[in-house]
Amino acid sequence: MRRLSEEPGELMPGEGNRGVNSVMLVEETPVDSYSCRVLRIAPGGGTGMHSHPRVHVVVALSGRVRLETEQEILELRTGAAVTLPGDMPHRFVNMADRAAALMVQNLFPRSSGSA
């Protein structure tokens, strides 16, 4: 699992760019499809533990959400971003007394045999 806060990034090349650090969240990836949703999680609410083949790129939009995997537990606060590989069991739980929101981008792997 990648954490945006731990990525050093690199200076953004190009004319006119100054003092801009770029962190690539998702490298160019062959995918069949892409989707993006916002999860609005009520206080004390959360998803069940689940896994799927698609990759998640998650950005915390508001609130405090606990991300649980089989390996670790992370607290996601506003602005935090993580990448979850496909097939990693995970769940999201709102730890606060206010609603939380996550933007979840889904990258669906290419089906075998597709070009």
Q: For residue range 20-60, list pLDDT tens digits in order.
A: 888 877 777 777 888 999 999 999 999 999 999 999 999 99
Please list, in sequence order, all residues whose beta carbon lies within 8 angstroms of the beta carbon of residue 68, skipping any fewer than 6 positions away: 49, 90, 91, 92, 93
pLDDT number for residue 23: 81
Res. 92: pLDDT tops 60: yes
- Report percent pLDDT > 90 for the chain: 60
Q: Rounding to the nearest 10 degrees, give the CA dihedral for residues 76, 79, 85, 91.
A: 30
Nearest alpha-carbon partner for 109 in 64, 56, 60: 56
Res. 113: pLDDT tops 80: no
The domain made up of 30-109 has a fold known as Jelly Rolls (2.60.120)
Res. 115: pLDDT tops 70: no
Enumerate the domain spans of the chain.
30-109
CA 54 vs CA 1, 2, 11, 12: distances in Å = 14, 15, 30, 29
Nearest alpha-carbon partner for 100 in 55, 75, 65: 65
